[in-house]
């Protein structure tokens, strides 16, 4: 039996039910076929498929990439591990190729091993190799973070990070320890590193950290930098160099330095503060500079002198990057940022107005934006809250707002007379008589507050026996006397 294409596709659609635990009888009822047919084509596999359609002619685009085989092979001979996206991009831009990237990718899968055999090596061997580069003094530094975990957990500090900057020419190291990786801390570590080296390198190599890169983009596209990173680099006159994705060897000097500091400074020791960690690194630096580096074969300290002499001078003033966000003003003239509240002047803002918050490591400033979107007027400046859920308020900012001093409350003085029907305003002025429904409410509340003594039922039974109720005749005689 050969099923028609429509019925065969219907059986394929119900195969998921069989895998989910449905019985053959249930599937047969759904498809309208006999359960034996269902068993044959589902349980035992579809042996007779739908009628075979005539083979399609090979599309011209499938063979289009073969016309550019010589060009692609030349690219592979120049760089065996060149990316397929780069090959496709160059074919489109320089040779008018109109085929898809997938066609180029399939061709590269076949061509790479062939070109590697021509060059006398395998693709796997090429993937394990990289080209070593050297730089001139003062031209480059590399930056990376290290996660030191719970090295200060016994002091109540849950997480400690290490910031590393290494001069590429001499391998002269710098390291400091922090509890945060935010943008203010990141560039504060840069300033400390520049002071440690006595100058600024011409280029600093980064990976795609969010404090440098605004967002991630596709390979081959220009990486948008964080505005504060651009401003910081411009102030100190260095060029940020962001590595491409999946380039583990791009900053190997500083990554090696992270492990060296961890082994020589932290291993086997206990510390009680960030300052002790920083002091331990500075005490180890002379030992490091006295060693002969295995790669360049010179004493690190001697080579570092040439490196330091070639660095650019530090600017006269420091640049303090700020974390910038937009926030709405609340009805209470408070602005929420990073879990805390900061006040703004009531006379200069409106409810739900957008203000710009600029936060550094020590302060928070709030700015109103002009109609042109460029002018920034300073509204308030506060010290930064040291923990969440804090209220940092300047009382002068509430000038002109009602303070509630005329608002009365329904609470009496302890020595006031409940029967007098008076309440005490919040500002403690003379008592004001209260009448009407409010008086009834206060009386009811006062009655509800009276303590009621609890007595056992046996006491009432004793009282009943001691003073029996009068008889009906006695009650009638009383009524007659009245």
Q: In whole angstroms, what is the distance from residue 404 CA to residue 425 CA? A: 11
The tokens of 242 are what? 């962001």
Strand partners, 260: none
Mean pLDDT of 392-415: 70
* Residues whose CB is less than 8 angstroms from the CB of residue 74 and which lie 6 or more positions away in sequence, other chains included: none
Q: In whole angstroms, what is the distance from residue 172 CA to residue 308 CA? A: 9
265-282 confidence digits (pLDDT tens)? 998 889 999 999 999 999
What pLDDT was estimated at residue 429? Answer: 46
Q: How many CB atoms lie under 10 A from the CB of residue 142?
A: 26
Q: How far is CA 13 from CA 3, 51, 97, 405, 447, in A?
A: 14, 17, 39, 75, 76
Map tokens 């400074």 to a residue.
265
**Closest by CA position to 285, among listed 264, 306, 302:** 264
Q: In whole angstroms, what is the distance from residue 180 CA to residue 471 CA? A: 91
Highest mean pLDDT among 57-66, 70-79, 105-114, 189-198: 189-198
Mean pLDDT of 327-355: 91
Q: In whole angstroms, what is the distance from residue 204 CA to residue 174 CA? A: 14
166-188 confidence digits (pLDDT tens)? 999 999 999 999 998 988 899 99
Say if CB 189 and CB 273 are below 8 A apart: no
Crossing angle, helix 84-95 and helix 69-78, to 10 degrees? 130
What pLDDT was estimated at residue 42? Answer: 67
Q: How far is CA 237 from CA 136, 202, 232, 319, in A?
A: 18, 7, 8, 12
What pLDDT was estimated at residue 50? Answer: 45
145-154 confidence digits (pLDDT tens)? 999 988 999 9
39-92 confidence digits (pLDDT tens)? 776 655 544 444 444 445 445 555 778 888 889 998 888 777 788 888 888 888
The tokens of 426 are what? 């919040």
User: pTM surpassing 0.85?
Assistant: no
- Strand order from edge to edge, sheet including 140-149: 173-178, 160-167, 140-149, 203-206, 239-242
Say if CB 81 and CB 125 are below 8 A apart: no
DSSP 225: B
**Closest by CA position to 180, among listed 399, 384, 429, 403:** 384
CA dihedral 372, 378, 380, 384 (to 10 degrees): 100
Strand 173-178 to 160-167 pairing:
antiparallel
Classify residue 267 by burial, with Cβ atoms within 10 Å: 0-12, 13-18, 19+. exposed
Map tokens 């409010």 to a residue.
438
What pLDDT was estimated at residue 340? Answer: 92
Per cent of the chain over pLDDT 70 is 71
Domain boundaries, the chain: 5-43, 60-127, 140-309, 323-398
Q: In whole angstroms, what is the distance from residue 47 CA to residue 316 CA? A: 82
Question: In this structure, is the dihedral angle defined by the CA atoms of residues 182, 183, 189 and 193, taken in order, positive or negative?
Answer: positive
What pLDDT was estimated at residue 25? Answer: 78
DSSP string, 277-316: HHHHHHHHHHHHHTSBPTTT-SBHHHHHHHHHHTSBPPPS
10-25 confidence digits (pLDDT tens)? 666 666 667 766 777 7
| Secondary structure (3-state) at 355 | strand
Say if CB 205 and CB 143 are below 8 A apart: yes
Q: How many CB atoms lie under 10 A from the CB of residue 395?
A: 7
Q: How many CB atoms lie under 10 A from the CB of residue 191?
A: 16
CATH number of 140-309: 3.30.420.10
**Closest by CA position to 404, among listed 330, 329, 332:** 332
What pLDDT was estimated at residue 418? Answer: 46
Q: In whole angstroms, what is the distance from residue 202 CA to residue 176 CA? A: 21
Per cent of the chain over pLDDT 90 is 32
DSSP 401: S
What pLDDT was estimated at residue 267? Answer: 86
Query: Is pLDDT larger for residue 11 or for residue 371?
Result: 371
**Closest by CA position to 265, among listed 141, 142, 173, 154:** 173
Average pLDDT, the chain: 79
* Residues whose CB is less than 8 angstroms from the CB of residue 310 and which lie 6 or more positions away in sequence, other chains included: 136, 137, 138, 139
Query: Is pLDDT larger for residue 415 or for residue 373?
Result: 373
pLDDT band at 240 (very low <50, low <70, confident <90, very high): very high
Q: How far is CA 346 from CA 25, 367, 376, 377, in A?
A: 75, 14, 18, 15
430-476 confidence digits (pLDDT tens)? 445 545 555 555 555 555 556 667 777 777 777 767 666 666 666 67
Say if CB 401 and CB 346 are below 8 A apart: yes
């Amino acid at each position: 039996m050969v099923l028609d294409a429509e019925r065969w596709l219907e059986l394929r659609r119900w195969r998921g039910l069989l895998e989910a635990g449905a019985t053959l009888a249930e599937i047969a009822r759904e498809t309208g076929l006999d359960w034996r047919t269902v068993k044959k084509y589902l349980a035992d596999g579809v042996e007779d498929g739908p009628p075979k359609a005539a083979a399609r002619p090979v599309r011209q685009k499938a063979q289009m990439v073969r016309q550019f085989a010589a060009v692609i092979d030349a690219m592979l001979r120049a760089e065996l591990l060149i990316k397929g996206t780069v090959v496709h991009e160059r074919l489109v831009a320089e040779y008018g190729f109109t085929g898809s990237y997938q066609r180029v990718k399939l061709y590269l899968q076949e061509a790479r091993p062939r070109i590697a055999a021509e060059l006398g090596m395998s693709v796997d061997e090429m993937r394990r190799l990289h080209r070593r580069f050297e730089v001139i003094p003062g031209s480059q530094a590399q930056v990376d973070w290290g996660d030191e975990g719970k090295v200060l957990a016994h002091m109540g500090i849950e997480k400690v990070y290490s910031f590393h900057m290494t001069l590429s020419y001499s391998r002269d190291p710098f390291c400091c320890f922090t509890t945060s990786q935010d943008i203010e801390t990141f560039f504060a570590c840069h300033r400390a590193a520049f002071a440690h080296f006595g100058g600024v390198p011409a280029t600093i190599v980064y990976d795609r950290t969010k404090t440098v890169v605004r967002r991630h983009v596709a390979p081959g596209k220009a990486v948008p930098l964080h505005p504060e990173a651009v401003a910081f680099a411009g102030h100190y006159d260095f060029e940020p160099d962001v590595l491409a994705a999946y380039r583990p060897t791009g900053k190997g000097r500083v990554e090696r330095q992270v492990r060296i500091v961890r082994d020589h400074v932290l291993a086997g020791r206990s510390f009680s503060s960030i300052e002790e960690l920083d002091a331990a690194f500075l005490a180890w630096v002379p030992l490091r500079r006295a060693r002969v580096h295995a790669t360049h074969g010179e004493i690190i300290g001697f080579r570092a002198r040439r490196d330091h002499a070639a660095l650019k001078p530090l600017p006269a003033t420091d640049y303090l990057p700020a974390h910038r966000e937009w926030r709405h003003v609340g009805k209470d003239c408070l602005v929420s940022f990073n879990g805390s509240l900061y006040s703004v002047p009531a006379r200069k803002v409106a409810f739900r107005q957008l203000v710009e918050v600029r936060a550094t490591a020590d302060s928070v400033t709030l700015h109103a934006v002009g109609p042109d979107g460029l002018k920034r007027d300073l509204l308030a400046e506060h010290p930064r809250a040291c923990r969440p859920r804090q209220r940092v308020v300047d009382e002068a900012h509430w000038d002109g707002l009602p303070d509630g001093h005329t608002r009365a409350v329904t609470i009496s003085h302890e020595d006031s007379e409940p029967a007098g029907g008076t309440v005490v305003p919040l500002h403690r002025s003379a008592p004001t008589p209260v009448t009407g429904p409010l008086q009834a409410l206060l009386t009811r509340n006062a009655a509800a507050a009276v303590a009621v003594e609890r007595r056992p039922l046996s006491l009432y039974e004793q009282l009943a026996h001691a003073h029996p109720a009068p008889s009906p005749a006695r009650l009638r005689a009383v009524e007659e006397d009245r």
